[in-house]
A = this chain, B = another copy of it.
Amino acid sequence: MATKKRTRQQKPENKRLDIRDVARHAKVSIATVSRTINRVPSVDKDLAKRVWKSIAELNYFPNTQARALVSGRSRILGLLISEITNPFFPELIQGFESIAVENNYEILIGSTNYDVPSMESCIRRLLERNVEGVAVMTFGIEGPLLNELASRNIPMVFVDEAPPSPRVSTLLVDYRQGIREGVQHLAALGHRKIAFITGPLQQRSCQLRRDAFLHSLEEIGLKLPKEWLPAGDHTLEGGMRAMEEILRLKELPTAVMCSNDMTAIGVLRVLARAGLRVPEDISVIGFDDIHLAEFVNPPLTTVRMSRADLARAAFEALRIHVEGTEKTAKQIWPIPTRLTVRQSTGFPPGTMPKLASRTKA
């Protein structure tokens, strides 16, 4: 009778096996099963073998919720992105997820859609599910986010700029390098009139990209009329609008750099529609190097910022705080960028170096 303490008499059908079933089957205590599963070294080899055998025979696997409840560890990481339909993000998600899953974490994706209410709803969801850390890949600091998460001391990682906090790290993208390469590539081809279509400037990241561009221009002694610095919004449509704006100007640039690839693809679209050839009439450079960049017409010259790098660094940054014992202060994770030359860049119009001019140069 004493053994029948549990109310449940029979395993109701469709009820998942629990640790007790395994213990019974292997003729050990549930503690031993638990220890075996968690690979506590002190377990006797033979017992462990028996337990694993039972686990296999019964096809048992532990209940994550129960584990999370008692251990205080959900093994869930939050991944906050701006917008899943922007191709940049799926590529990032893919990388982050695969590393997370390899390490037995699950990820919860939240799309902030650039607006505060949906961002708050995302945070609430993450909090309710007890995420152990959050990667904020929205390319901007999200104010309210901070308070809610940081006050709970949840590890976070941001891109470009992070609030100072002990368990917060930063992925520091080296925009300078790649964008400078882009500018110098254009300059080397002979371009002097280079426009830049920015992203949404509320995002720190977009300011940085623009600044990197302006700086690179200055470095080589070029000036930029401000009409050549229109704002896009990192969407294809935004790129189209910005390029249309440029086309209405009296003086046209011979090259256009863009704050991201979707913008550049919009630019390509408008140019094609306007009957301008790329790169013969105008050169275009993007930023990100999304998969699609290689397949537009012409294949896009662009600055690569690796999603794999970003994903890996984000995960590692979180892991150090989530799993580590070290109380290290805020960490900086550098992310390089580099120009990928394809076919959307060429000599400026009217300077096509024929054999003659080539020898001249």
Supposing A91-B85, A97-B111, A295-B269 touch, asked if A65 and B69 sit within 8 A by C-beta, the answer is yes
Asked whether, in the complex, the Cβ of A128 is within 8 Å of the Cβ of B269, the reply is no
What residue of chain B has the Cβ atom nearest to residue A236's Cβ? B295
The answer for the CA separation of A63 and B69 in the assembled complex, in Å, is: 9
Of the candidate stretches A119-127, A158-166, A179-187, the one touching chain B is: A119-127
Asked whether, in the complex, the Cβ of B94 is within 8 Å of the Cβ of A85, the reply is yes
Number of this chain's copies in the assembly equals 2
Count of residues in A whose CB is under 8 Å from the partner chain? 48
* Inter-chain contacts of A268 with B (CB < 8 A): 297
Supposing A90-B85, A109-B109, A129-B64 touch, asked if A152 and B266 sit within 8 A by C-beta, the answer is no
* Inter-chain contacts of A129 with B (CB < 8 A): 64-65, 106
Q: How far is the CB of A198 from chain B (nearest CB, A)?
A: 20
Residues of A contacting B: mostly: helix
Q: Mark A1-41, 1 if CB is under 8 A from B, else 0.
A: 00000000000001010000000000000000000000000
* Inter-chain contacts of A130 with B (CB < 8 A): 16, 63-65
Whether A62 is near chain B, meaning CB under 8 Å from some CB there, is yes
Whether A355 is near chain B, meaning CB under 8 Å from some CB there, is no
10 closest residue pairs by CB, A with B: A84-B90, A65-B68, A65-B69, A65-B65, A272-B297, A64-B128, A90-B90, A85-B90, A236-B295, A64-B129
Instruction: Name 28 interchain pairs, CB-CB below 8 A, sorted by A.
Output: A16-B130, A62-B128, A63-B69, A64-B128, A65-B65, A65-B68, A65-B69, A65-B129, A65-B130, A66-B69, A84-B93, A85-B87, A85-B90, A85-B91, A85-B291, A89-B90, A90-B90, A97-B109, A97-B111, A101-B121, A106-B125, A106-B129, A240-B295, A265-B295, A266-B295, A269-B295, A269-B296, A269-B297
